[in-house]
Amino acid sequence: MPTPLDTLNASFGLPGTLHFDEAAPGLPVAHITTPLASASIALQGAQVLTWQPTGQQPVLWVSKAAIFEEGKPVRGGVPVCWPWFGAVPGKPMHGFVRTRLWQLRGAELDAPGQVVLRLGIGDDVATHSLWDHAFDLELTVTVGSTLTLALTTRNTGTQAFEITQALHTYLCTTEITQTTVQGLDACHYLDKVQDFAPYQQSGAVTFQSETDRIYTDTTADSLIVDAAGGRNLRIAKQGSASTVVWNPWTDKEKTMADMASGEFHQMLCVETCNAGPDAVSIPAGGAHTLVAIISVE
């Protein structure tokens, strides 16, 4: 009797390039190795966990204390927050798809040598109890010398619905106090550390304390300048009107069981979003695609 893992390997494995194992029982992970890059992607949450272009240090950050358990969010990589971003009273933080098992719909090696995975999830009784809409959600992950995530929301119901969402990207940095984010100068933001007070950015974003901001009405690339590491990361985006920048700093880090002490120094999140006032309305039968393209410069 083949296990679900045997079936994944038999149906989608690409010898020498793509195989599946489990991070914990019931948590399958796709492992990709090509001449261009290596990566791993958990089927729970369709969560890209790691991506490392050949010749580079890892780009995505995962906590040493991350918890790999069915139904629990994983602290790192790129969680998909959907159909809401942030807190909704009485409902799971950041929506419900990051803790559910997605289906692998396709895996192929394209002409330039990138691996393209398609993962999907649809509505069922459990999702209707949290959010009463019919939908199909598909994430296409293209792993090469750049990493591209494209999240397509299809409204398969008969009435329009509204979503907020994020490709909640955790990035490695060498030292947060020497890291800046360019591309958000003059943008308006809501400061979650100050109860969503509105501000306007002046110059690059710098980090000296807990930082949790929703930059609204911005389609610009973000350039993460890791001065201590001597490299820049670029996140370009499409279908996204907001960018969230987050670092928990000392006190908040202490409240999180799945972050090890002092790890906030080596990470930050720059999230490709439609959040806060940038909610997206999708008519019955309509679709919307949110894209993040991550590269090292």
Ligand X SMILES: O=P(O)(O)OC[C@H]1O[C@@H](O)[C@H](O)[C@@H](O)[C@@H]1O
Residues that bind ligand X (CB under 6 A): 73, 93-94, 168, 192, 212, 244, 246, 271
Q: Which residues pair with 137 in a beta bridge?
A: 121, 153
Closest separation in Å from C-beta 90 to ligand X: 15
CB of 244 to ligand X, least distance (A): 5
Q: Which of 93, 114, 245, 240 is nearest to 171 (CA)?
A: 245
| DSSP letter string, 14-52 | BTTTEEEEEEETTEEEEEEE-SSEEEEEETBTTEEEEEE
Q: How far apart are CA 62 and CA 31, in angstroms?
A: 15
Tell me how far apart the alpha carbons of residues 83 and 121 are, in angstroms, rounded to a whole number.
12
**What is d(CA 28, CA 5) in angstroms, rounded to the nearest whole number?**
7
Q: Which one, 144 or 248, has the nearer CB to ligand X?
A: 248
Residue with tokens 């692998």: 104
Local structure of residue 176 (DSSP, 8 states)? G
Which is nearer to ligand X, 43 or 244 (by Cβ)? 244
Q: Given the complex with ligand X, which of 73 and 83 has the nearer CB atom?
A: 73
Q: From the candidates 94, 168, 253, 265, which is the catalytic residue?
A: 168
Residue nearest to ligand X (CB): 93
Nearer to ligand X, 10 or 93 (CB): 93
| Least distance to ligand X, CB of residue 246, Å | 4
Alpha helices in the chain (DSSP H): 4-12, 125-130, 249-254
Q: Least distance from C-beta 226 to ligand X, angstroms? A: 20
Q: Of the two residues 118 and 192, which places its CB atom closer to ligand X in the complex? A: 192
70 catalytic? Reply is: no
- Residue 168 designated active-site: yes
Give the contacts of 203 (CB within 8 A, at least 6 positions apart). Answer: 185
Task: Kindly state the smallest distance separating residue 193's Cβ from ligand X, in Å.
Answer: 9
Instruction: Catalogue the active-site residues.
Output: 168, 271
